[in-house]
Structure 1
Amino acid sequence: MKRAFEFIDEKSHKFWWIETSENKFVVNYGKIDSIGKYEIKEWDSVEECEKQATKLINSKIKKGYKEVNFDYNNHYYFDDMDYDIDFLTSHPNFREHFTDEQLYCNCGDEETPFGSDTGNDVLHIIEEKIRKNKNFSFVDFPKYLLEKEWGIEYFEPILITDEKVFAEELKIKDKGLSREAIINESDEVVIATAFAQIKITGKIDEELKEKALLSLKRVELIAKICGYGESEINKQLYNDLESFTNKENIKLN
């Protein structure tokens, strides 16, 4: 079930929509043309979830809300901070393409986009900044976050052509930290930012996409040099991101 409503009178211009998925639903509501607030609720069964969703819908109709054709594609999607990352609070284009919910809404696996502390922080910091500025620049964000807010050197994602030179570079210590750790932090931020843009807006800047693909390649090379072994998750992230294409019906800045 997925239904949207609006309430418009002399004082109010509000929207409200609901979507159910198995035994939980999401509601998104607020002033028309705003991002609004997201809330997810989980129930004991599919039947109870549908029952409670219908109850909410009927309550809105009684209050004067009118059903509308909501533009779900040209809308920002933020997570319910009390529930954490979820497909229901992700853009339809994200859900359609990145279908592995256990991978792309994972809050505990370090290799996933939002599973590490860094990746999770990046997603939620971006959400906070967009609420203050809808013209937020995803492309510029990784460098800004690392250097201006976290005080860490930013390593631009590049194509590594000389593995031996790069391997020696990884051994360098900067203020007690290995170059490997610092580069890895840059790559985690870039990768999380790229997936966050798609999750929130349903599209990605081509420049950011290219940077994220280079970061994923660099992560793979570092793992090889350091003897960590191949990562199937990293390969899937690369393949899924590479194959993602923007749809023409997305108009967000």
Structure 2
Amino acid sequence: MQASVDIHCHIMPGVDDGSRDMDTSLKMLEIAARDGITDVILTPHHKPLHHNVSVERNKIYTKRLQEAIDNAGINIRLYSGNEIYYSDETQRELEEGKICTLADSEYVLVEFHPTNPYSAICNAVYQIQGAGFIPIIAHVERYSDIVEHPAYVEELIDKGCYIQINALSVMGKYGFGIKLFAKKILKNRLVHFVATDAHDIKKRAPHMADCRAYIQRKYGKDYADRIFYDNAMSVIRGEIL
């Protein structure tokens, strides 16, 4: 099975609406390993007005989970990160080092409310870039204004963003309209990362293999390699895509 890297998941135990405990996290990572995932960036939510895990605790928890999976014989490398719910505080918190970047790189994973207009997303992009970071737009298929105007995806890329979609969206889990949008931007090579956005071991488990096989069949092996492995490894290494 070909190797994949997951840059967006909620597998860190007991910190957000993802894994409840260490046992669940181990089961999730067993599923991931069976699906060919070799490297995982843990991205617990960082939201305004929430009790967010500090950068220091995030790294401690990542190390603790790595030790647990090593002991369990699960062959996956873990890295720290956050999924940032953009707010007026985001730029300041990034500048002050209060949010985990992806694997200690300059890349940050950022999400928005599904109804945020494109103009607000653009403004957030400028703020993040102004703080010195490179935005990766999480699950771009969830933002209604962008889904209604697929050309916005290319505009975001031209502004210096990178684009992530969820594997389950590609496979039709969230409806035909979302799948159609995902196929459109995949066909135009406007996706840089496919991730699991995993939250549990059932409905939102960290499956990647079926989606990778589908994309490889539809859009070619070279492109599949880039968006499931090569680009993510460039993030982990702190390289420019």
Which bracket does the TM-score occupy, shorter chain normalised? under 0.3
Task: Name the larger-Rg structure.
Answer: 1
Give me the TM-score of the superposition, normalised by structure 1: 0.26
Give me the TM-score of the superposition, normalised by structure 2: 0.27
